[in-house]
Structure 1
Amino acid sequence: MEHTSVIRRARVGDLPRLVELVHEHVAYEKSAPRPPDLAERLGPRLFAEDARLWVLLACAPDGTVVGYAACSAEFSFWDARHYLHMDGLYLAEEARGHGLGAALMDGVRELARERGLGEVQWQTPDWNEGAIRFYDRLGAAGRPKRRYALAVEPVRPEGGTPPGPGSVSR
C-alpha cells in the first residue's frame, strides 16, 4: 500500500465514506454514537468557502478511502497564537501497518505549514497504546491532561431563538 497510496484533501463526494469511517472510529474508541445526520451537519462546515475545518484522506491504491485526519485552527490563550488541532486520525483496520498513518501525519504537518501554524496538537485515549507508540515514534511529545466536556443547553429568550455571540453578561 505504501508505494501507490495517496493522501489528499476530502471532496464533497467523499462525505458518505468519511462518515462511515467516523462511525468506525467512534466504535473503536468506545465513544457514544454520533448523530444520524452527521453528513448533513458536517458537509457545510467542511466544504464552505471560508471553512476552518480540513480533512485529509488516505486512499488505498485502488482509490478506496481508508482513513482520515480531521483538523481545525484553534487559539492557545496561554501562547497567544493559533495552532492546528487534529481532532481525529483514523485508519481502517486493513489499512494499518502500511505507512499511511505517517503519511497522514506528514500531510497534517504540511497543512499546518500552509496555514502558518507552528504547532499541531491532538489527544488520544490513554488506553490506546498502539497510537501512543505511533505518536512517540514520530517524535511527538505527550502532555498529561484530562479532557472534560460539559453539555450546555442554549438559553432561549422569548421568541425561541438562542442569543447571539457576546450575549453573556457578567
Structure 2
Amino acid sequence: MSEFVEHLRLMARYNAWQNGSLVAAADRLSDAERWQDRGAFFGSIAATFNHLLWDDALWLARFAGDARPELSVPVSLDAPRDWGAFKTLRTERDAEILAWAEGLASSDLEGVIAWYPGGENTRVEKPAAVCFAHLFNHQTHHRGQIHGMLTAAGARPEPTDLPMLG
C-alpha cells in the first residue's frame, strides 16, 4: 500500500475528528451567533460549514467519475439552515470520506480527475493524487476560518494539531 494512500486515510480521520470538534464548539452558540456575519470569506460560521459540506460532496462526486457534479450537487451557503440537519449531514459526509479513503488503492493515485468548472468548453484535468490532497487541504483552510470565528465568539474547539488525533 502506498504511503500516500495511508496519508489520505489519516487525513480522512483527522477531518472527521476536527469537524466533530468544531461542531461541538458551535453547539454552544445560538443559531443567530452561528449565522452572524463575522467578516470571513463566506461571512458566517454556518455558511462556511455549509460551503465545506457542499464542496466535499462536489469532490466526492468528481472522484466517483462525475465530471459535472455541479448539476446534481446544488450550491448553497444558506442550506441547511437547521443546525440539527447540518450536523446529521456533516456526520454522514465524514463517513463517506472515511469510506472513500479506506477504499483507495495505490492504482487510484495514477489517474486524472476531470471536471467542467465553467461550462462545456472548459474541461480541466488534474492528477488524481493532487485532487485528493486538495480535498483535505481545502477543508483545513476553511476549518481554520471556522476555528478562528468560533474562538472569537467565545467557543473553544479542541486543539487542531495532527499529533493530538487519537
TM-score (norm 1): 0.26
Which one has a bigger Cα radius of gyration? 1
Q: Which has the higher helix share?
A: 2
TM-score (norm 2): 0.27
Higher RCO (CA-CA < 8 Å; seq separation 6+) = 2
